[in-house]
Amino acid sequence: MRRILASVVGVMAASVAYAAPVKGSDEATQIRWTRYGVPHIKAADERGLGYGIGYAYAKDNLCLLADEVITARGERARFFGREGQSSAELDNVSSDFFFRWLNGDAALAAFWDAQSEPVRGLLSGYAKGFNRYLRETPFVEQPVACRGQAWLRPISERDLVGLTRRLLVEGGIGRFAQAMLAAAPPGRQDARVSTADPGFALATRNWNDFALQRGSNALAIGAERSSNGHGMLLANPHFPWSGALRFYQLHLTIPGRMDVMGAALPGLPVVNIGFNRSLAWTHTVDTSSHFTLHRLQLDPTDPTRYRVEGQPETLRKRTLSIEVREADGRLGTLEHDIYLSRFGPLVKWPGLLDWSADQAFALHDANLDNTRVLQQWLEMDQADSLATFRAAVERVQGIPWVNTLAVDDQGTALYMNASVVPEIAPPALASCVDPAFAEKGLPVLDGSRSECEWSHETGAAQPGIVPANRLPVLQRRDFVQNSNDSAWLSNPAEPLVGYSPLQSREGGELGMRARFTLQRLAAHEAAPLDEAFLKGLVDGNQVHLAELLETDLSQLCSAHKGDMHSACDAIMQWSRRADGSPGWLYFQAFAERFLEIEKAWRVPFDPQDPLRTPRGIALEKTDVAAQVRAALEIAKREVDASPALKWAQEGALQVAVRGNRRLAIPGGEGELGVYNAIQSRPNLQGQREVIGGSSYIQLVTFDSSGPKAQGLLTFSQSTNPASPHFLDQTEAFSRQRWHRLPFTDAEILADPQYRSLRLNE
């Protein structure tokens, strides 16, 4: 009990230390809820608005936020013990060490000190609103997942800053957390962080799948292609269905200053993807580098010393300390050393980034110094025109690792790859980047030469990053699109070329989702585009790879049916949609193997014809034909022996599990060209449980009276099984039924599930 009381006192002390100077308003904060539990929050100032956000969010996701705060504070092992992992799939001990480093006192204080008064007001209000809901909610009404738990505690502005910094490094050092903890001089590896551990392998083997796991589709239609001459926007972010990146719907209003609706990530008091009266916007994970690796030239007599321009420097060792609750309930202490260079922490991946007697690797993350991220989204939320919106993005430069696509009511579409990217002078790129690592997607620079360090350019919002006027931007009246490809072909009519490879690369093969989008746009070039067209991209669930292989796969099946008749019949009768049917199951298993066959395409990729290549199966090549047939045979045997076939036959292959409910979910792997990208994992019963993918879907059009929006939050608003909004939107997504989003006062008041609450601090 003393330990729990001490923890609460510590949180209160941190809250006092970070007290916001923004004076709260005497006017009440109003929360009005509409269908599906969406809160429409109105207040006189930012502090009051944050107060409403924190209260509403706690009502729906009390345990989720409390758990993520424990993660960001580096206290998982203290409360949950060694076993278990965070929502980022880091084991508790590793997670705690990483966040003790990331969210040290100095880093949190520096971030807070850099905030504007409106942002401080939002953060302060959010913490107070969350704490009020926690304080006033009786024990029996708290969610079972955290009811009465020691880790369910009041939060502070400091905690929200920690959550924000966690978000910032998702595109950089956050992907290297285990590698950072594994870095130690030769012969001094800490046994507690083993590179042989399965968790380490999981965390490192697919580091470059970041855009697939947290990807997105976006399409902004301008006046020239729109059916009514106004702008239209489809937002289809593919994000986790749980944890720190789980979106939440809300509507924020400060009369006369801001009126914005959309979705926000946990702990953030701003709308990240949304719309207001004049424009709508969304984000997609970009392909830019938000970090660089620096290969250190070590002193052969001392692996903790390295040289820059021939001059020796010593690595700084920092000892981290965490508390761990052992199996018998007692608290113990663990320590771990990390090593820091002038560039940043050292990292180690065996066989790729080794720390040997003569070299080591350090990581420099540009977003560690990005204190502008909340101010960025606040100004985007407040923008009253596309020009204001674009100017805010270019001036603040606070977007961490995503593209931005937007459209206004006048029908102008905008694409911006305006995130935080390291600036390396062009001559240095030619001589400093290691091409062997570049082929693996890793930007490794020569750390022994000062000319290879980041350049400090005039006009950049942060030392060492690319100024906004040299980042890819495209503004058009027909369309812009992105599905996690580079900026190159955001619109093929006006390719974006000539940029640093750290920003964007031209001439590379497009992803299947981008090809699908551009093919559909080309097929409808003569007809105006409307809501039905945009919605159909998602809920059509077409598998574009199947369309590219259909003719040749049919030929293969006809010529060599034999024992493959069941698989061939299922595939040939299949709708070419990610529909959970047996044909889809067989095709998935085949496609996984087909994509690994070298030179399997009849027409290989051609950078001069990127929209139509690669395509077809090279069946005229004997070795390819044999490998493709073998891939189909293996796929058949695998599926026939799997319990998944039974679930596919019953229409329940891919499901969202909600308590004792299992809801069939459409969609599939984005790399196969499924726009409605869904990530799922096999369970013990043979079904596939959804873990991420389409999340906050937003389709916004405009007419003379303002925005008209529809969409849904695929996983629903609340993580509390007792809430009526635990699975209501998931059921709607299962049936592919989108709903209108009430935005005006008249629409809100007319909602059949309208209810309201007024809050005074």
The token pair at 686 is: 């043979």
CB–CB of 411/476 below 8 Å? no
Q: Does 614 sit behind a cis peptide bond, omega within 30 degrees of 0 on the bond before it?
A: yes
Q: What is the pLDDT of residue 145?
A: 98
Q: What is the pLDDT of residue 494?
A: 98
Instruction: Return d(Cα 597, Cα 600) in angstroms, integer.
Output: 6
Q: What is the pLDDT of residue 179?
A: 97
Q: What percent of the chain has pLDDT over 70?
A: 93
What DSSP string describes 11-42? HHHHHHHT---SPPPSSPEEEEEEGGGEEEEE
Strand 29-34 and strand 739-740: the pairing is unpaired
Q: Give yes or no for residue 224 having a pLDDT over 80.
A: yes
Q: Residue 757 CB: number of other CB atoms within 10 A?
A: 15
Q: Give yes or no for residue 9 having a pLDDT over 80.
A: no
Give the contacts of 654 (CB within 8 A, at least 6 positions apart). 580, 664, 665, 666, 667, 668, 678, 680, 687, 688, 690
State mean pLDDT over 62-71: 98
Q: Give yes or no for residue 5 having a pLDDT over 70.
A: no
Amino acid making up residue 676? N
Give the contacts of 616 (CB within 8 A, at least 6 positions apart). 548, 549, 551, 552, 601, 602, 603
Label residue 410 left, alpha or beta by phi (over 0 means left) and psi (-120 to 50 means alpha): alpha
Q: What is the pLDDT of residue 204?
A: 46
Strand 248-254 and strand 696-703: the pairing is unpaired
For the question of residue 734 being annotated catalytic, the response is: no
Q: Give yes or no for residue 3 having a pLDDT over 90.
A: no
CB–CB of 315/469 below 8 Å? no
Out of 15, 95, 156, 216, the active site residue is 216
Q: pLDDT grade, residue 216 (50/70/90)?
A: very high
pLDDT tens digits, one per residue of 247-262: 999 999 999 999 999 9
What pTM was estimated for this model as a whole? 0.94
Q: pLDDT grade, residue 397 (50/70/90)?
A: very high
Q: What is the pLDDT of residue 190?
A: 58
Q: Give yes or no for residue 267 having a pLDDT over 90.
A: yes
Q: Give yes or no for residue 683 having a pLDDT over 90.
A: yes
Instruction: Return d(Cα 230, Cα 704) in angstroms, integer.
Output: 9
Higher pLDDT, 44 or 193: 44
Q: pLDDT grade, residue 15 (50/70/90)?
A: very low
Q: Give yes or no for residue 215 having a pLDDT over 90.
A: no
Q: What is the pLDDT of residue 659?
A: 85
Q: What is the pLDDT of residue 187?
A: 83
The continuous run of DSSP H or E covering 3 comes out as: helix 2-17
Q: What is the pLDDT of residue 199?
A: 44
Taking all residues of the chain, what is their mean pLDDT, rounded to a whole number?
93
Torsions phi, psi for 143 (to 5 deg) = -60, 145
Q: Give yes or no for residue 192 having a pLDDT over 60.
A: no
Q: What is the pLDDT of residue 80?
A: 98
Q: Residue 63 CB: number of other CB atoms within 10 A?
A: 19
